[in-house]
Amino acid sequence: MSDFPSGSLDVLQQVFGYDSFRGDQQAIIEHVHQGGDALVLMPTGGGKSLCYQIPALMRGGVGVVISPLIALMQNQVDALIELGVKAAFLNSTQDWREARDVEQAFLAGELDLLYVAPERLLTDRCLDLLSRGRVSLFAIDEAHCVSQWGHDFRPEYLQLSILAERWPQVPRIALTATATTETRREIAQRLRLTDARHFVSSFDRPNIRYRIIEKNEVRRQLLAFIQAEHMGDCGIVYCLSRARVEETAEFLCKNGIEALPYHAGLSAAVRAENQSRFLREEGLVMVATIAFGMGIDKPDVRFVAHIDLPKSVEGYYQETGRAGRDGQPATAWLAYGLQDVVQQRRMIDESPGEDVFRRRLSAQLDAMLGLCETVSCRRQRLLAYFDQSIGPCGNCDTCLEPPEAWDGTVAAQKILSAVYRLWRERGQRFGAGHLIDILRGKQTDRVQQYDHQSLSVFGVGADLSEQAWRGVLRQLLAQSLLAVDHEGYGTLALTDGSRAVLKGETTLMFRREPEKKARSRSGSKSGASRSRSADIVLPPEAQERFEALRAWRAEVARSHGVPAYVIFHDSTLREVALNCPESLEDLAQISGVGVRKREAYGEELLRCVRTV
C-alpha cells in the first residue's frame, strides 16, 4: 500500500498539487471516506475523479473504478502513475500475462486504484478476484449510462446492482455530469443507491460560450468559424452519420485544418490510433459521431461544433462539456436548420419500440428544439432543463447579440393554408421547397406542371425571403404545428395543433434570423476579429517562457508515451511562466505541482525558466 497522508486536504496538496477543494469535493470525499454511499452530479471538468481517487488513497484497500471507456482508463492510470499513485487497469487490450500481473498486484495489496470496464467486472473471474482482495470503495463513473432513456445507455450498467449485494459494507460512489431529476432517481434505483447522499453541483460551465446559428452550406460555415476563431486550436466536430464524418474531415484537411475521422464503421485499430493522436498531439480536430467522446479527459479542447442537431439536451450538454475542461474560454457552436427537424422527426416516427418510447424521444427533441429557437439566454434555458436557474449569462449568442422576436401568426396561417388547400382541394402533398415557391409566387417548372399558380395562396408570401420562410417552416415543425408525412416521402401535413393557428385562436412569436451575409457565415459578427485563444493572453516575455515550457513538456510526454497534459496542464505552465519560480520551494506554490512531480520535473522546469 502506498504511503499517503491521512487528511483529505493533505492528499490534495501533496499528491495532486492543488491548494484547496472546489465546491462539494471535500464534503463528498469525507462522506465516502467514512463509509457512506454517494450520488454525485458535477459538470465536466468539475473535478469528479478526485471525489473517488482521494478517499481510495485514504481508506485501506484498493479503490475499484468502473469506467465505460478503455482509452479513459489508460489516460487516468498514466496520470495517476505520474503522481506516484499505484494504479492499473483490466481490459481487453491486455494479453493474459499482463492481466495476470495486474490481478496478482491487486491480491497482494500493491495497488491503490484499479480501473475495470463494466463488461469485465461482471465476469465470474473478475467478481471472484475482487472477492479475494480488499476493496476500499467502488466508483461507478458515467453513471447516467444506467438510464435506459439516456443518450449513452449501456446494458451492462443495469447489472451493477450486484455490487450492493456482494459487498454491502463497501461504500459506493456513482458519478455523472449529466442527469435530470428523473434520471437521478433512475440511477439511484437501478444501482441500489436509494439511501445514498446526493451531491448536486451547478451544471453551469461559464467559460463555454454557446452559439447556435441557422444552417446554410454548413461545411463552409464550420470552416469560417474555425478559421476566424479557433485556427490551430484543438476541437471536436460532431456529425450524425459516418459518411458525413468522412466528408467533413476530408473537407477540413483540404482547407488547411488537420482533422481526423472517428466513427463505429472504422476498424478498432484506426479508431484507437486516431483517438491516441487526438489526445497526444496539439491542434488536431476530431470529426466524429457520438461513438467518440465519453470520458474524454483532454483539458485543452477549445471548441465543440455540431453540424447536425443533437437528439437531446442531455447529449448536447455532455458533448459540449468536452470543451474547456481547463476552465479557459471555449466555444460550443451548433448549426441547425429545417432539414434537421425533418430528419429527426422521421427517425423518431420510424424507430422501433413502443409508443411510450417514441413519446420520450419526441419530448427530448422538443426540449432541444426549444433551446435552439429561444430568444432568451441559452444558458438559462439549458440549465432550466436540469432544474437549475440563473440570470442572463452574458456569454451566449442571444445575450451578446439579442435576436428579434416577431409575430409570425399571419405567416404561419399562410403556409398552413397552402398545405390545407393542396390536400383538401387537390389531394396533394409537397415538401418545404415547393411550398415556399408557391407562397413566393415563383413560376417554376413544377408549379406550372401542377397548375399551382392558380391557387389562391400563390404569391401571398412574396414579402418574405426564401430564408425567412424556411425559418417559419422550421419553427412550425419544432412546435409540432406541422408534421412530416414520411409515407409521402417527407412531404408536410397539418397536425391537431394547426387548426387553432388557422382560426386565429393563438399568437405565434418567432425568432427572426438575420439575413445571411455575403462574406461571413460563421454566425459571429465579431468572429473575424478574434484570434486564437484570444482571451488567454500573457505578457510577451511570459508568452515566450510558456512556449518554451510547452516544447519541453512535449519532449517529456513523448519519451513517457503519454499525452502532454498528463505531465502538466497548460494552466500550470502559464502560472510558471508568469511567476518565474527560482527554487523548488517556489514551485511548491504553483497549482498542479505536487510532491511527486516536483521531485520528477522540478529541476528541469526551473532550468527551462532560467534559459529563456
Q: Domain containing 118 — which CATH number? A: 3.40.50.300
Instruction: Note whether 250 and 285 are same-domain residues.
Output: yes
Distances (CA, A) of 196 to 27, 35, 38, 186, 193: 14, 11, 5, 13, 5
**Do 597 and 79 contact (CB within 8 A), yes or no?**
no
Which residues contact residue 299 at a Cβ distance below 8 angstroms, ignoring those fewer than 6 apart? 45, 325, 326, 565, 569, 570, 571
Q: How far apart are CA 240 and CA 252, in angstroms?
A: 17
Least confident residue range of 240-254, 301-315, 354-368, 533-547: 533-547
- List the 172-176 sheet strands across, edge first: 87-90, 113-116, 62-66, 135-140, 172-176, 38-41, 197-200
Count of residues in the chain: 612
Which residues contact residue 377 at a Cβ distance below 8 angstroms, ignoring those fewer than 6 apart? 391, 392, 393, 396, 398, 399
How many distinct structural domains can be found in the chain? 4
306-340 per-position pLDDT tens digit: 999 999 998 899 899 999 988 889 999 999 988 89
pTM: 0.83
pLDDT of residue 512: 80
Instruction: Note whether 346 and 463 are same-domain residues.
Output: no
| Residue that is last in its domain, among 200, 222, 247 | 200
**Sign (positive or negative) of CA dihedral 430, 431, 437, 438:** positive
Q: Is 576 part of any domain?
A: yes
Q: What is the mean pLDDT of residues 7-12?
A: 92
DSSP 292-329: S-TT---TTEEEEEESS--S-HHHHHHHHTTS-TTSS-
**Do 69 and 293 contact (CB within 8 A), yes or no?**
no
Instruction: Note whether 412 and 398 are same-domain residues.
Output: no
Instruction: Note whether 390 and 416 are same-domain residues.
Output: no
Q: Is 527 part of any domain?
A: no
Q: How far apart are CA 575 and CA 525, in angstroms?
A: 33
Q: How far apart are CA 478 and CA 483, in angstroms?
A: 9
Give the rounded distance of the alpha carbon of 339 from its chain centre: 23
Which residues contact residue 449 at a Cβ distance below 8 angstroms, ignoring those fewer than 6 apart? none
Query: The CATH number of the domain where 602 resides is what?
Result: 1.10.150.80
Instruction: Note whether 312 and 334 are same-domain residues.
Output: yes
Q: Is 519 part of any domain?
A: no
Least confident residue range of 150-154, 223-227, 564-568, 600-604: 150-154
Give the rounded distance of the alpha carbon of 589 from its chain centre: 33
Instruction: Note whether 162 and 302 are same-domain residues.
Output: no
Give the rounded distance of the alpha carbon of 184 from its chain centre: 19
Distances (CA, A) of 413 to 88, 257, 583, 608: 64, 45, 74, 69
Band (pLDDT 50/70/90 cuts) for residue 1 is very low
Q: Is 259 part of any domain?
A: yes
pLDDT of residue 520: 41
Q: How far apart are CA 362 and CA 368, in angstroms?
A: 10
Instruction: Note whether 363 and 461 are same-domain residues.
Output: no
Instruction: Note whether 393 and 430 are same-domain residues.
Output: no
Phi, psi angle pair for 233, to nearest 5°: -90, 160
Instruction: Note whether 566 and 581 are same-domain residues.
Output: yes
| Residue that is last in its domain, among 200, 233, 252 | 200
Instruction: Note whether 216 and 169 are same-domain residues.
Output: no
Q: What is the mean pLDDT of residues 395-404?
A: 92
Q: Is 434 part of any domain?
A: yes
Q: 426 lies in which domain range?
A: 405-512
Instruction: Note whether 44 and 161 are same-domain residues.
Output: yes
Q: How far apart are CA 21 and CA 23, in angstroms?
A: 7
pLDDT of residue 533: 42
Q: Is 397 part of any domain?
A: yes
Question: What percent of the chain stands above pLDDT 70?
Answer: 93
Band (pLDDT 50/70/90 cuts) for residue 514 is low
Among 474, 488, 525, 100, residue whose Cα is nearest residue 309: 474
Q: List beta partners, residue 305.
A: 237, 333
| Residue that is last in its domain, among 495, 512, 529 | 512
Among 151, 144, 155, 78, residue whose Cα is nearest residue 115: 78
521-531 per-position pLDDT tens digit: 455 544 433 43
User: H/E element holding 200?
Assistant: strand 197-200
Query: The CATH number of the domain where 465 resides is what?
Result: 1.10.10.10
Q: Is 517 part of any domain?
A: no
Q: Regarding predicted confidence, which is higher, 541 or 305?
A: 305
Q: What is the mean pLDDT of residues 170-198?
A: 93
53-92 per-position pLDDT tens digit: 999 999 989 999 999 877 778 888 999 999 999 999 998 8
Instruction: Note whether 334 and 415 are same-domain residues.
Output: no
**DSSP letter (8 states) at residue 146:** G
Q: Which three cell numbers stand for residue 507?
A: 399568437
Q: Is 521 part of any domain?
A: no
Phi, psi angle pair for 31, to nearest 5°: -65, -45
Band (pLDDT 50/70/90 cuts) for residue 345 is confident
Q: How far apart are CA 337 and CA 119, in angstroms?
A: 39
